[in-house]
């Protein structure tokens, strides 16, 4: 049952949820910066922004031209010897594997950072929720105490009334002040 155990372990691990919560928190943080940046852009002249964009475009085109020249130079400088070409390909493959491993480590670090951030967010939310529940419970307890005090007061008043009624002598029945009408038999 190793598959079942692996599946159970995977499903019980909260780290992916923490990472998701951390990514959401990071996204919210970055989105809060958008209005400020938009205000900065709105405050600048449109012509200035267009000039900056054009300058960046020219710079990117110059870099692209340089890269194309380097590629052409490299292709032209390739040895005609197949063995040295094979060695360069192996070197390039090893460098790519090293780079991939480096990126995997970096990705894991970012994942762990997001998971930590998410754990903080979840813990903070749990604390706020528990604080709210404690506040609600305190209010409910206060109302229950007030209700219990009212019930005790009513019971005490009823007991006092019953005791005074039992202690007082019985009063004679009041006499009628209006005479009774004679009843006539019906035929």
The domain segmentation of the chain, as residue ranges, is 14-43+78-156
Tokens of 165: 């009624």
Confidence at residue 167, expressed as pLDDT on a 0 to 100 scale:
66
Which conformational region is residue 56 in: left (phi greater than 0), alpha (psi within -120 to 50 degrees), or beta? alpha
Cα distance between residue 18 and residue 111, in whole Å: 10
Cα distance between residue 68 and residue 172, in whole Å: 123
Contact between 114 and 23 under an 8 Å Cβ cutoff? The reply is: yes
Q: Give every CB contact of residue 26 below 8 A, 6+ residues apart in sequence.
A: 114, 117
Q: What is the chain's pLDDT, residue by residue, as a tens digit (187 residues)?
A: 678 887 788 778 888 888 989 999 999 999 999 888 877 777 777 788 788 889 999 999 999 999 998 888 877 776 666 777 788 889 999 999 999 999 999 999 999 999 999 999 999 999 999 989 999 999 999 999 999 999 999 888 888 887 776 666 555 555 666 666 666 666 5
Confidence at residue 48, expressed as pLDDT on a 0 to 100 scale:
81
Cα distance between residue 84 and residue 118, in whole Å: 50
Q: Give every CB contact of residue 119 below 8 A, 6+ residues apart in sequence.
A: 18, 21, 22
Confidence at residue 35, expressed as pLDDT on a 0 to 100 scale:
84
Confidence at residue 103, expressed as pLDDT on a 0 to 100 scale:
95
Q: What does pTM read for this prediction?
A: 0.48
Going by the DSSP 8-state scheme, the letter that residue 174 receives in this structure is P
Burial 9-34 (b: 16+ CB within 10 A, else e): eeeeeeeeebbebbbebeeeeeeeee
Nearest to 21 by CA among 124, 128, 129: 124
Confidence at residue 17, expressed as pLDDT on a 0 to 100 scale:
87
């Amino acid at each position: 049952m190793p598959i079942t155990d692996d599946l159970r372990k995977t499903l019980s691990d909260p780290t992916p949820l923490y990472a998701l919560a951390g990514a959401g928190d990071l996204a919210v943080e970055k989105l809060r910066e958008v209005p400020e940046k938009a205000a900065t852009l709105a405050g600048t002249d449109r012509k200035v922004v267009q000039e900056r964009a054009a300058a960046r475009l020219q710079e990117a085109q110059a870099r692209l031209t340089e890269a194309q020249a380097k590629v052409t130079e490299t292709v032209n400088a390739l040895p005609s010897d197949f063995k040295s070409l094979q060695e360069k390909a192996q070197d390039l493959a090893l460098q790519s594997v090293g780079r991939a491993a480096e990126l995997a480590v970096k990705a894991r670090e970012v994942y762990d950072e997001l998971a930590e951030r998410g754990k903080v967010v979840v813990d903070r939310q749990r604390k706020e929720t528990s604080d709210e529940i404690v506040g609600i419970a305190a209010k409910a307890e206060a109302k229950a105490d007030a209700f219990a005090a009212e019930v005790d007061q009513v019971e005490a008043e009823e007991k006092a009334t019953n005791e005074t009624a039992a202690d007082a002598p019985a009063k004679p029945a009041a006499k009628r002040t209006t005479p009774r009408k004679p009843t006539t038999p019906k035929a």
